Amino acid sequence: MLEIEKLTVYFGDRCVLDDVSLSVARGEVLGVVGESGSGKTMTALSVMGLLNPAARIEGGSIRLDGRELIGLDGRAMSGIRGRNMAMIFQEPMTSLNPTMRIGKQLGEAVKLHYENRQPKQEIKRIVLDALADVRLPEPERVYASYPHELSGGMRQRVMIAMGTICRPGYLLCDEPTTALDVTTQKGILELIGTLKKEHNMGIVFITHDLKLLRNFADKVAVMCRGKVVERGTVEEIFAAPKEDYTKRLIAAIPDRSRRLAKTSV
């Protein structure tokens, strides 16, 4: 289980995460929702050990299958990232190296985390299998492509392949569908759901769009100004939200039936 307990993070004198507690088990999807600046991404970066050097953790605990992560040195965290947990970032064009072909970028992850040194052909096979796993057509062509030669949806699938190539137990997804059209968003959500089932991964899915989580997440945590203001199952959050902030988020979801009714008047 990935457990965050009473995590508190400061930038200078400013508290950006205040007593945050979350947990997700393998095979489960936790949706973390809130407006921009609510602390969603900061929470994920804290878990991954990728906080800006100016940030400091003032208290709390982050445990991965019982192992405390806070206080581990860079080398220890590098061994955990990718192998035990991984993160998919919001914009793949800023996460992928534009000067390297896709195959080489994914191959580096394999070299880093596989204990035995793999021959080049075996590394290529692992990478091609990962590209096929994320339903990319023509894996050989994608393998030889640069990021700018792929569409936005294809780049996002490459990022998912990079995150899952070493079969981590937990995957943190930071708004991976934000820049995509509705049809592509649906495909990415279905893909992540399929990989979760196939590899029994725990998923932390960060979004500002509560509607996305309705048929995807098992439970939801609502964040506002660095705090978790409400948590519960998807059914509990949608059927009987307790906090005004959560109620406003739900009220902001476009109601297609109401819009159609107005149009017909």
Cβ atoms 174, 34 nearer than 8 A: no
Helix then strand count (H, E) for the chain reads 12, 10
Identify the band that residue 262 occupies on the pLDDT scale cut at 50, 70 and 90: very low
Q: What's the pLDDT band for 211 if we cut at 50, 70, 90?
A: confident
Give the pair of three-digit tokens for residue 193: 């759901």
Mean pLDDT of 178-182: 79
Residue with tokens 């021959």: 119
The pLDDT of 101-125, averaged and rounded, is 83
CATH code of domain 2-93+169-264: 3.40.50.300
Is pLDDT above 80 for 67?
Answer: yes
Mean pLDDT computed over every residue of the chain: 89
- pLDDT confidence bin for 100, thresholds 50/70/90: very high
| Per-residue pLDDT reduced to its tens digit, 219-256 | 999 999 999 999 999 999 999 999 999 999 888 887 65
Average pLDDT over residues 8-20: 95
Residue 235: per-residue pLDDT: 93
User: Please, how many CA atoms are within 13 Å of residue 209, restricted to the half-sphere of its CB?
Assistant: 14
pLDDT of residue 206: 95
* Position 111 confidence tier, pLDDT thresholds 50, 70, 90: confident
Answer whether 88's CB lies under 8 Å from 176's CB.
yes
pLDDT band at 93 (very low <50, low <70, confident <90, very high): confident
